[in-house]
C-alpha cells in the first residue's frame, strides 16, 4: 500500500462539522452516516465524493435520489447480471455530501460462479438488444404517462356524492395511496434505468480490454473516440435550440433576444409581430418532448425541466444567435467526428493480426450499437420522469402548506420521504376526525433549521476522497468508466494535496488544447453566467449543459472517467476536456487564465488574475 498517499486522505470520522451546522445528521437515514459501530470497516476503505451526481449538499427529501439509484444499480449489477468482480455501491453522507465506494468480489470461486450467470444473461441481452430496448422504451413511456396523470387529491370539507352513493374511495385513502404510488413509481423508474446501462458499459469495457491486450500503447481516448455515437437522442434538444436561433435570424426577430432580458420579456417582444408569433409557434411545437430536458443532472428537486424553468434554453438561443452574428459555426462537428472515428477504427484494426481482426470488428460493432443508451437513458429517466416526479412531490407539499403543516410548497423538500409520509398521515387523521393537529407547530421549525444548514454546508469544500488508499486496483467497471477511479487517479488526487497548485492532471477526455479565462461553476444556477471563450471548470458537466458548449473553449471537471457524461458531451462537441482532476474547483478561480490539454490530460493555471 502507498502509505504516503493514504495519509493524504482524511479519516471519515475525523472530519469536522462546519460552523452552524451541528445536527446536520438529522436530515439523513442512520445507515447513510459514518458511525462507531462500523468505524474499523469504513475507515479501512476508500470513499470518494460522487460530485458527478451529487455536487451540492443534499436536502433531506432528495436522499430519495440516492437510495433508489443504488437499490437498482446493486440489484442489476450484483443480483441479476452478477458482474464477476463487482457487487454494488455503498454510500455515506459527510456534511451533506455523498461519498461512495464499490463493493468488490475477491473470491476466485465466486468470480467464476458469477461469470457463468453474467455470460448467459448478458449474452441474451446483446443478442436481443433491439427488441429488448424497444420494450424498455415502451415501459418508460408508460411510466412517464402514469406519473404525469397521477393526481394529488384535495381534502375538502365534505366528500363528494360518489363516496356516499357510488362506493368511491375516500379522500384520506386517495391521498395516502397517491403518495405511496408516487414513491413506488420513482423506484420503478430507477429499476428501468439500470437495466441496460451496465451492459452498455460492459460492452465498451470488453472492447477496451480486447484492444489493450493486443495494442497495449493505445490511449483510452482513442478507444472512446472509436465508439462515440454521432446521432444520440440526448443532443436533440440542443439541436432544436440551434435551429430556433437560425430561424430567429432568418425571420428578423433576433433583436428580441438582445440585452439582459428574461424569457417572459422575450416572449412579450416576439408576440408583437407576425414573424415573432410564427417563431413562438415553432417554439411550442418542439416543447413536447424536447423541453422535458433538465437543467442539471436530475438528482435534486431544484434541477427543473426546461418546461418549468426556461432560462437555460432561452439563454442558449441568445448565445447561438450572437455566435451566428459573429460568424461562428454553432453545429456539432458530426462529420469530423465520424471521419475521425472511422479513421481510428481502421488504422488500429489494420495493426492487428488477422486472427484478431474478426473479434475486434465484432466487439466494436457491439459497442457502437449499445453506446447510444449510455447517454439516451438520461433523457427519459433523469430528466423527463424525474422532473415530473419532483413536481408531483410539490403537489403534496402544496397540500401540506394549504393546511398549515408547511409555510410554502417548496418546504416539503426539507423533510425526508418518511417524514412527508408522517405529515400526510397526520393531516389525513386530523382532517378526518376534526381535532387539532400538531404538524403546523412541529414541522415549520424543522424546515427553517434545515434550510439554514443546507445553505451553510454549501460553503464547505469536500475532499475528493476519504479513508484508505486501496492496495489493489479497483475492478468495478462502473467506478472506472463513469467516475474514473483508478490507482493512478487516486495517487494524483493524493499528490495534489501537497502540490503547488499550478497544474492538475486527469483523464484525457476530449482531444485538443485550449486556453482562456476560467469560469468556475459549482451549481446549476451559475450556468447562465458562462461567457464566450471561457474555460468551464466544474465538479462535473451534465448533458443538460450542452447548450453552452458553443460558448466555451474547454472544460475541466473534478470527477469523471473516460465514459462519464462530461467526457462524452465534450467529445461530441469537439471541446478539449480533462476530467477527474479531483480538485479543479478548489484550485482554480474564476478569471484565472487556464490551459486545457485534452490530449494528454493536463491543466495548467497560467496566471493569478482571478475575480472572486
Phi, psi of 580 (to 5 degrees): 70, 30
Q: Minimum mean pLDDT among 3-12, 61-70, 112-121, 290-299: which range? A: 3-12
Residue 401, SS3? Answer: helix
In the predicted model, is pLDDT for residue 159 greater than 80?
yes
pLDDT computed for residue 500 by the predictor: 55
C-alpha cell read off for 561: 472517467
Spatial separation of the C-alpha atoms in residues 497 and 556, rounded to whole Å: 18
- CA within 13 Å, CB half, 551: 24
Q: Minimum mean pLDDT among 164-178, 426-440, 487-501: which range? A: 487-501
pLDDT computed for residue 6 by the predictor: 42
CB atoms within 10 A of CB 383: 28
Burial of 391 (C-beta count, 10 Å sphere; 0-12/13-18/19+): middle
Residue 506 DSSP one-character state: -
Q: Under a CB-based contact definition with an 8 Å cutoff, are residues 393 and 412 in contact? A: yes
pLDDT computed for residue 282 by the predictor: 97
> pLDDT per residue over 270-286, tens digit each?
999 999 999 999 999 99
Spatial separation of the C-alpha atoms in residues 217 and 183, rounded to whole Å: 48
The share of the chain scoring above pLDDT 70, in percent, equals 92
Spatial separation of the C-alpha atoms in residues 580 and 384, rounded to whole Å: 28
Placement of cell 472511422 in the chain: 342
> pLDDT per residue over 401-445, tens digit each?
999 999 999 999 999 999 999 999 999 999 999 999 999 999 999
Distance of CA 319 to the CA centre of its chain: 24
> pLDDT per residue over 39-51, tens digit each?
999 998 989 899 8
- End-to-end Cα distance, the chain: 40
pLDDT computed for residue 499 by the predictor: 53
Mean pLDDT of the chain: 89
Rg (alpha carbons) of the chain, rounded to whole number: 25
pLDDT computed for residue 472 by the predictor: 66
In the predicted model, is pLDDT for residue 525 greater than 90?
no
Confidence band of 1 (pLDDT split at 50, 70, 90)? very low
Spatial separation of the C-alpha atoms in residues 429 and 431, rounded to whole Å: 5
> pLDDT per residue over 192-242, tens digit each?
999 988 888 888 888 888 998 999 888 888 888 888 766 778 889 999 999
pLDDT computed for residue 545 by the predictor: 77
Spatial separation of the C-alpha atoms in residues 12 and 7, rounded to whole Å: 12
Amino acid at each position: 500500500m502507498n502509505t504516503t498517499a493514504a495519509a493524504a486522505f482524511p479519516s471519515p470520522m475525523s472530519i469536522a462539522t462546519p460552523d452552524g451546522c451541528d445536527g446536520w445528521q438529522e436530515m439523513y437515514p442512520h445507515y447513510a452516516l459514518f458511525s462507531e459501530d462500523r468505524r474499523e470497516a469504513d475507515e479501512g476503505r476508500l470513499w470518494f465524493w460522487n460530485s458527478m451526481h451529487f455536487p451540492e449538499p443534499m436536502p433531506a427529501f432528495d436522499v430519495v435520489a440516492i437510495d433508489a439509484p443504488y437499490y437498482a444499480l446493486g440489484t442489476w449489477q450484483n443480483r441479476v447480471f452478477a458482474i464477476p468482480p463487482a457487487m454494488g455501491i455503498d454510500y455515506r453522507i459527510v456534511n451533506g455530501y455523498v461519498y461512495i465506494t464499490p463493493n468488490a468480489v475477491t473470491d476466485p470461486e465466486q468470480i467464476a460462479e458469477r461469470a457463468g450467470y453474467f455470460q448467459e444473461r448478458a449474452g441474451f441481452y446483446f443478442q436481443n438488444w433491439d427488441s429488448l430496448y424497444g420494450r424498455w422504451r415502451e415501459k418508460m413511456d408508460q411510466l412517464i404517462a402514469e406519473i404525469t396523470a397521477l393526481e394529488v387529491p384535495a381534502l375538502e370539507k365534505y366528500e363528494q356524492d360518489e363516496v356516499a352513493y357510488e362506493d368511491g374511495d375516500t379522500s384520506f385513502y386517495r391521498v395516502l395511496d397517491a403518495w405511496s404510488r408516487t414513491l413506488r413509481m420513482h423506484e420503478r423508474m430507477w429499476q428501468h434505468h439500470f437495466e441496460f446501462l451496465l451492459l452498455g458499459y460492459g460492452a465498451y469495457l470488453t472492447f477496451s480490454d480486447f484492444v489493450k491486450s493486443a495494442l497495449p500503447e493505445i490511449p483510452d481516448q482513442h478507444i472512446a473516440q472509436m465508439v462515440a455515437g454521432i446521432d444520440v437522442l440526448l443532443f436533440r434538444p440542443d439541436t432544436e435550440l440551434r435551429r430556433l436561433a437560425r430561424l430567429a435570424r432568418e425571420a428578423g426577430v433576433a433583436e428580441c433576444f438582445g440585452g439582459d432580458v428574461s424569457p417572459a420579456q422575450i416572449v412579450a417582444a416576439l408576440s408583437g409581430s407576425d414573424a415573432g408569433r410564427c417563431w413562438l409557434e415553432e417554439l411550442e411545437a418542439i416543447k413536447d418532448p424536447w423541453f422535458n430536458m433538465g437543467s442539471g443532472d436530475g438528482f435534486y428537486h431544484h434541477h427543473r425541466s426546461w418546461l418549468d424553468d426556461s432560462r437555460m434554453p432561452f439563454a442558449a438561443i441568445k448565445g447561438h444567435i450572437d455566435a451566428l452574428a459573429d460568424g461562428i459555426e454553432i453545429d456539432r462537428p458530426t462529420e469530423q467526428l465520424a471521419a475521425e472515428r472511422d479513421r481510428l477504427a481502421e488504422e488500429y484494426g489494420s495493426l492487428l493480426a488477422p486472427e484478431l481482426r474478426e473479434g475486434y470488428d465484432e466487439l466494436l460493432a457491439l459497442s457502437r450499437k449499445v453506446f447510444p443508451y449510455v447517454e439516451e437513458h438520461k433523457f427519459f429517466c433523469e430528466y423527463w420522469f424525474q422532473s415530473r416526479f419532483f413536481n408531483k412531490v410539490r403537489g403534496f407539499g402544496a397540500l401540506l402548506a394549504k393546511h398549515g403543516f408547511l409555510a410554502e410548497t417548496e418546504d416539503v423538500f426539507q423533510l425526508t420521504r418518511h417524514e412527508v409520509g408522517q405529515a400526510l398521515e397526520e393531516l389525513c387523521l386530523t382532517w378526518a376526525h376534526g381535532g387539532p393537529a400538531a404538524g403546523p407547530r412541529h414541522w415549520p421549525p424543522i424546515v427553517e433549521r434545515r434550510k439554514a444548514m443546507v445553505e451553510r454546508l454549501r460553503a464547505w469544500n469536500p475532499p475528493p476522497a476519504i479513508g484508505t488508499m486501496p492496495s489493489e486496483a479497483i475492478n468495478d467497471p462502473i467506478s472506472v468508466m463513469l467516475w474514473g477511479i483508478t490507482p493512478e487517479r487516486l495517487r494524483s488526487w493524493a499528490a495534489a494535496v501537497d502540490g503547488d497548485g499550478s497544474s492538475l492532471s486527469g483523464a484525457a477526455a476530449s482531444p485538443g488544447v485550449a486556453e482562456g479565462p476560467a469560469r468556475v461553476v459549482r451549481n446549476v444556477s451559475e450556468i447562465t453566467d458562462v461567457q464566450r471563450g471561457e474555460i468551464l471548470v466544474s465538479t462535473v458537466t451534465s448533458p443538460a449543459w450542452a447548450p453552452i458548449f458553443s460558448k466555451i473553449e474547454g472544460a475541466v471537471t473534478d470527477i469523471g472517467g473516460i465514459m462519464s457524461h462530461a467526457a462524452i458531451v465534450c467529445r461530441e462537441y469537439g471541446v478539449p476536456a480533462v476530467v477527474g482532476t479531483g480538485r479543479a474547483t478548489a484550485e482554480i478561480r474564476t478569471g484565472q487564465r487556464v490551459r486545457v490539454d485534452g490530449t494528454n490530460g493536463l491543466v495548467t493555471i497560467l496566471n493569478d488574475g482571478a475575480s472572486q
